[in-house]
Amino acid sequence: MNQGLKPLDHEIQMALLAIFKFWFVLSWNFALLMILFRSLKYVFNTCIGGYEFHLLTCPQEDKKDETRQRITNIAYGDLLKVWRKWFMLLIWIVAAQMIVALIIMKLFSSYENIFDWFNIYVLYIFILIAGYFSFIALSIQCKKVRIAKC
């Protein structure tokens, strides 16, 4: 830096742009995972549309009755197992949407390649749709979650 920098010609600009694109995509995807994890705490702490999710404790092994208590102060450590189940549910629903979309595109479109229509924006639309249906199925899939009216 003290001896001076080489002038930014077209090749250097293209190389810097390629490096930026590579790291932007990686950081964007990592940020999406972090946002999904942090947003789950928000879902448990608010009343949405007259319903709210209750996070329950696990029953203790020495007790025969399966009494579960509601966790009122939810920490991120409490959400880890729930988030993993919710995330896997999201993955499976998005995969099912991809299969259905692929069949529809193959039957009713004139694309030469199978995934010409697929891009990151379509993936985010699929994630949003899967998020809606995953919250419906989350209380069935995960025994630590209960839906109640608020």
Task: Give phi and psi for 118, each to the nearest 5.
Answer: -85, 130
In the predicted model, is pLDDT for residue 138 greater than 70? Answer: yes
CA distance 20 to 111: 31
- The dihedral built from the CA positions of residue 123, 55, 58 and 38, taken in this order, carries a sign that is positive
**Chain centroid offset of residue 55 CA:** 19
Distance in angstroms (rounded) separating the CA atoms of residues 53 and 85: 15
- Flag whether 10 is in a domain: no
Q: Is residue 14 part of a domain?
A: no
Task: Specify if 3 maps to a domain.
Answer: no
Res. 133: pLDDT tops 80: yes
Residue 99 main-chain phi, psi, to 5 deg: -65, -45
Q: Is residue 15 part of a domain?
A: no
Q: How many domains does the chain have?
A: 1
Phi, psi (rounded to 5 degrees) for 132 = -60, -50
Whether 136 is in a domain gets the answer: yes
Is it the case that residue 45 has pLDDT exceeding 90?
no
25 occurs within a structural domain: no
Range of the domain at 97: 41-149
Output the six-digit token pair for 138: 């989350």
Separation of alpha carbons 23 and 119, rounded Å: 18
Neighbouring CB atoms inside 10 A of 74's CB total: 19
Check whether 67 has a pLDDT greater than 80: no
Q: Establish if 27 belongs to a structural domain.
A: no
- Residue owning tokens 């090749």: 11
What's the pTM? 0.70
78-122 confidence digits (pLDDT tens): 888 888 888 899 999 999 999 999 888 888 887 777 777 888 888
